[in-house]
């Protein structure tokens, strides 16, 4: 180990790089721009240690290189370099590696410290080729005393990755660490088609010049996974940025565009545990990863998928038929309807839909209870008259009933206008703000006097709330026989920072939120009948082991890519989109169905009134029947890279009515790929969602989809029709004309 201590500025050596090699210039005082310009040259990473400026700390992990500059009072990033592609990744204007906010217990003084300045001592310890340890000690601001921040960069040459650990300690007893942004990095985004990926929903891409921020709270639907990526698709060079945290601690992922600087900033904000307690310190959960990315969003998903499969405790166990603790009917289900209200209305509506589809159907039943929606929760019983008989009738016909309950909220006036049990029973278990008051939320529901219903977010760590949700779910299954229960908001909403110490968890941040919900879900799963299932609103990986499905109704924005299905396809079922009205509702319907099909989701979650147009009904029916024929790929297989389509593929645009404006643009022809790796078979999905026929030429390498050999057997499947299979070269480049509003599949199998 080589240990160096620095407490004063050093002299930078300026090198001129020529084709013939390096030539040292005379020693001159460092200027920031000059030092940064040097660091941006790939050759700088080849300089021997005795020819580098003394202030440089050079990290090399395979194809990823980083140069940090030690200043008098801090450390800053000069270069982040893709050595294989000879491309500078770092932006002109760097971000500090970390920022941390500290608050004095008197609540009158707050201070933010950062890696790039304001410290009395900077230490660096290097173990060449293995790791480098950075230490910041004693902020210049004497009010703070002598806290110490430590970052350890472990070098993974095989992966081209720097893996970070970080902590803050020695905080004075009168100061509390509130939150830490770590790690932070700004990347050059000047390439014309530069792409920025955020995990919100299925995964979201912004290309080229854009302004704003993509942000999400983990674990929730706005950040269901813990990674981001940014890359230049032309050079296939970029960065995979992740938090590999197997305990699912709360964190916020930010991807900010800075158009004036032509860069993007990637940040992870982590609230500290016991953030209102003096001397709490901070330890980053898991590890942060900077890894060179040679590819695009799909390659980033594969990096994360590999980590999940090896390390994530929330990933379900899979067998030859996929996830065997999920009942087969749920794994196979192709299409969903949602319905609401009295049994006589719901039964007739669902039966008509089932007959039209001709395949097993799931129905998500709202307002099966007497209380109003989003009001008087969690007192769901009694049920509407005839509910039990209706459930039995529907489930005798391959129609699977899943009623709605809410998994987060207790109404603060939970019997009409009266406080029935809230203050007496629920209040101790509600999440609390720092002032001790319950965290209350309001939606569109109103009390009888017109005032808003105010609902308390319950703390999942408390036994009272775990027991209440468990009792409701099991009563629906055991007393009324429903095949599944939908627990609203659980996976959709991010953790609430609760400050009630009596709940037994750290105040503020930590992994306790996801841990509490998983404990609740496990207790339900242990007791429910074996052929039943649980789902929740939204998608959040932290609950995948204990939920059989995620309602992905919010996957309705522009720029979506199927990163979540790429990581979790086959491990948990994804179902549903929000189908709404408007002047372009018919095209929007087809776009959503088509995207669901190629993303591998269970289709629909649709209201029957949207299917009054027979063409809509026919398109959904054909897509549902095609998915039904291919169902094994989606519950026992995995997603593969979507194929490239050549040809003049037009774009379509419709108002999906998720946001305002809600316009979404996609290709008229969508494509997806799913494989059964152990069976050496794959399927390519193609759908034309437009009103006009389209001709495309998919580019398919069967060996890349796990089907080896010079030839493969190719079978074309269209809804209910399987054409006679034929032999094809393993590199398939076959023009196909797709009729308007159509879907088909190409199945690739071994030639025996």
Q: What pLDDT, on the 0 to 100 scale, is given for residue 752?
A: 84
Element (DSSP H or E) covering residue 749:
strand 742-750
Residue-by-residue DSSP string for 218-281: ESBTTBSSSEEEEEETTTTEEEEEEEE-TT---EEEEEEEETTTTEEEEEEEEEPBTTTSTT--
Residue 199: both structure tokens together: 């995990």
Q: Are 588 and 656 in contact (CB under 8 A)?
A: yes
Terminal CA-to-CA distance of the chain, rounded, Å? 58
Q: What pLDDT, on the 0 to 100 scale, is given for residue 390?
A: 98
Q: Is 21 helix (H, G, I), strand (E, B) or coil?
A: strand
Whole-number Å distance between alpha carbons of 556 and 388: 34
Q: What is the 3-state secondary structure (H, E, C) of 189-232?
A: CCCCCCEEEECCCCCEEEECCCCEEEEEEECECCECCCEEEEEE
Angle, nearest 10°, between helix axes 614-629 and 585-599? 0
Cα dist from 394 to 387, 401, 615, whole Å: 11, 7, 26
Whole-number Å distance between alpha carbons of 631 and 331: 8
Cα dist from 351 to 348, 354, 390, 396, 398, whole Å: 5, 5, 11, 11, 10
Q: Are 558 and 507 in contact (CB under 8 A)?
A: no
Count CA within 13 A, CB hemisphere, residue 703: 7
Sign (positive/negative) of CA torsion 339, 344, 347, 348?
Answer: negative
- Domains of the chain (ranges; CATH) run 2-311 (2.70.98.90), 335-408+463-496+506-635 (3.20.20.80), 638-750 (2.60.40.1180)
Task: Name the one residue in this structure whose structure tokens are 């996609």.
Answer: 666
Q: What pLDDT, on the 0 to 100 scale, is given for residue 160?
A: 98
Closest to 318 (Cα-Cα) out of 550, 636, 681:
636
Q: Are 164 and 40 in contact (CB under 8 A)?
A: no
Query: Residue 706 — left, alpha, or beta (φ > 0 → left; ψ -120 to 50 → alpha)?
Result: left
Q: What pLDDT, on the 0 to 100 scale, is given for residue 294?
A: 98
Closest to 304 (Cα-Cα) out of 243, 366, 220, 347:
243
CA 440 to chain centre: 26
Q: What pLDDT, on the 0 to 100 scale, is given for residue 41?
A: 65
Q: How many residues does the chain have?
A: 752
Residue 656: both structure tokens together: 């999906």
Q: What pLDDT, on the 0 to 100 scale, is given for residue 106?
A: 87
Cα dist from 292 to 69, 160, 295, 398, 545, whole Å: 21, 6, 9, 49, 30
DSSP 3-state percent helix, strand, coil across the chain (nearest 5): 20, 40, 40
Whole-number Å distance between alpha carbons of 722 and 628: 13
Angle, nearest 10°, between helix axes 387-395 and 463-480? 70
Q: Are 549 and 535 in contact (CB under 8 A)?
A: yes
What is the number of other CB atoms lying within 10 angstroms of the CB of residue 89?
26
> Cis (ω within 30 of 0) for the bond into 260?
no
**Longest pairwise C-alpha distance within the chain:** 91
Q: What pLDDT, on the 0 to 100 scale, is given for residue 67?
A: 95
Residue 727: both structure tokens together: 């032999």
Q: What pLDDT, on the 0 to 100 scale, is given for residue 366?
A: 98
Whole-number Å distance between alpha carbons of 452 and 276: 31
Q: Are 105 and 65 in contact (CB under 8 A)?
A: no
Closest to 285 (Cα-Cα) out of 504, 495, 572:
495
Show Cβ contacts of residue 150 under 8 Å, excluding neighbours closer than 6 positions. 133, 134, 135, 136, 166, 167, 168, 169
Q: What is the 3-state secondary structure (H, E, C) of 511-554?
A: CHHHHHHHHHHHHHHHHCCCCCEEEEECCCHHHCCCCCEEECCC
Residue 192: both structure tokens together: 């014309």
Low-confidence ranges of the chain (pLDDT < 70): 1-42
Q: What are phi and psi of 584, to 5 degrees?
A: -105, 25
Classify strands 148-156 and 161-169 as parallel, antiparallel or unpaired. antiparallel
Residue 259: both structure tokens together: 């158009």
Q: Is 479 exposed, middle or buried (0-12, 13-18, 19+ CB in 10 A)?
A: exposed
């Amino acid at each position: 180990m080589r240990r160096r201590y620095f407490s004063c500025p050093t002299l930078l050596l300026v090198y001129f790089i020529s084709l013939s090699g390096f030539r040292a210039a005379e020693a001159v005082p460092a200027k920031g721009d000059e030092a940064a310009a040097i660091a941006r040259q790939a050759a700088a990473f080849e300089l021997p240690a005795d020819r580098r400026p003394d202030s440089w700390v050079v990290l090399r992990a395979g194809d990823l290189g980083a140069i940090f500059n030690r200043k008098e009072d801090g450390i800053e990033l000069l270069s982040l370099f893709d050595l294989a592609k000879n491309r500078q990744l770092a932006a002109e204007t760097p971000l500090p590696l970390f920022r941390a906010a500290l608050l004095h217990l008197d609540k009158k003084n707050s201070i933010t410290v950062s890696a790039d300045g304001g410290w009395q001592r900077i230490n660096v310890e290097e173990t060449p080729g293995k790791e480098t340890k950075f230490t910041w000690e004693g902020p210049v601001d004497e009010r703070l005393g002598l806290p110490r921040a430590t970052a350890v960069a472990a070098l993974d040459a095989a992966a081209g990755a720097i893996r970070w650990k970080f902590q803050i300690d020695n905080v004075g007893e009168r100061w509390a660490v509130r939150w830490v942004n770590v790690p932070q990095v700004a990347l050059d985004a000047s390439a014309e088609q530069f792409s920025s990926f955020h995990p919100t929903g299925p995964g979201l891409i912004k290309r080229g010049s854009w302004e704003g921020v993509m942000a999400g709270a983990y674990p929730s639907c706005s950040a269901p996974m813990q990674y981001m990526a940014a890359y230049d698709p032309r050079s296939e060079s970029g960065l995979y940025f992740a938090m590999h945290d197997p305990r699912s601690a709360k964190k916020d992922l930010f991807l900010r565009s800075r158009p004036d600087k032509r860069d993007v900033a990637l940040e992870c904000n982590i609230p500290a545990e016991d953030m209102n307690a003096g001397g709490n310190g901070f330890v980053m959960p898991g590890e942060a990863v900077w890894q060179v990315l040679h590819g695009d969003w799909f390659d980033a998903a594969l990096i994360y998928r590999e980590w999940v499969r090896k390390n994530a405790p929330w990933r379900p166990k899979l067998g030859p038929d996929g996830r065997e603790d999920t009942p087969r009917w749920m794994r196979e289900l192709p299409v969903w309807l949602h319905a609401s209200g009295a049994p006589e209305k719901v039964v007739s509506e669902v039966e008509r839909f089932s007959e039209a589809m001709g395949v097993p159907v799931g129905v998500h039943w709202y307002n099966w209870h007497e209380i109003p929606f989003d009001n008087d929760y969690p007192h769901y019983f009694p049920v509407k008259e005839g509910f039990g008989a209706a459930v039995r009738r529907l489930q005798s016909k391959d129609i699977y009933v899943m009623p709605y309950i809410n998994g987060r909220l207790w109404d603060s006036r939970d019997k009409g206008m009266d406080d029935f049990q809230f203050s007496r029973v629920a209040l101790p278990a509600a999440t609390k703000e720092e002032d001790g008051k319950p965290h209350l939320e309001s939606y569109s529901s109103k009390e009888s006097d017109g005032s808003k219903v105010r609902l308390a977010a319950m703390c999942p760590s408390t036994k009272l709330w775990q027991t209440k949700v468990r009792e409701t779910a099991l009563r629906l299954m055991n007393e009324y026989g429903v095949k599944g229960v939908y627990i609203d908001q659980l996976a959709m909403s991010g953790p609430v920072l609760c400050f009630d110490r009596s709940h037994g968890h750290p105040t503020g941040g930590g992994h306790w939120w996801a841990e509490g919900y998983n404990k609740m879900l496990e207790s339900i799963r242990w007791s429910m009948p074996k052929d039943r299932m649980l789902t929740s609103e939204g998608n959040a990986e932290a609950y995948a082991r204990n939920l059989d499905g995620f309602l992905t109704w919010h996957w309705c924005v522009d720029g979506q890519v199927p990163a979540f299905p790429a990581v979790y396809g086959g491990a948990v079922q994804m179902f549903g989109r929000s189908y709404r009205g408007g002047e372009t509702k018919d095209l929007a319907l087809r776009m959503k169905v088509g995207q669901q099909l190629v993303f591998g989701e269970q289709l629909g979650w649709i209201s029957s009134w949207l299917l009054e147009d027979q063409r809509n009904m026919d398109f959904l029916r054909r897509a549902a029947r095609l998915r039904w024929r291919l169902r094994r790929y989606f519950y026992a297989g995995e997603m593969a890279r979507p194929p490239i389509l050549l040809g003049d593929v037009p774009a379509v645009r419709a108002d999906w009515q998720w946001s305002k404006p809600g316009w979404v643009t996609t290709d008229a022809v969508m494509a997806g790929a799913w494989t059964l790796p152990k069976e050496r078979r794959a399927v390519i999905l193609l759908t034309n969602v437009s009103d006009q026929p389209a001709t495309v030429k998919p580019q398919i390498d069967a060996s890349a989809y796990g089907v080896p050999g010079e030839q493969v057997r190719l079978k074309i499947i269209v809804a209910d029709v399987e054409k006679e299979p034929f032999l094809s070269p393993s590199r398939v480049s076959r023009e196909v004309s797709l009729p308007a509003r159509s879907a088909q599949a190409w199945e690739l199998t071994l030639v025996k």
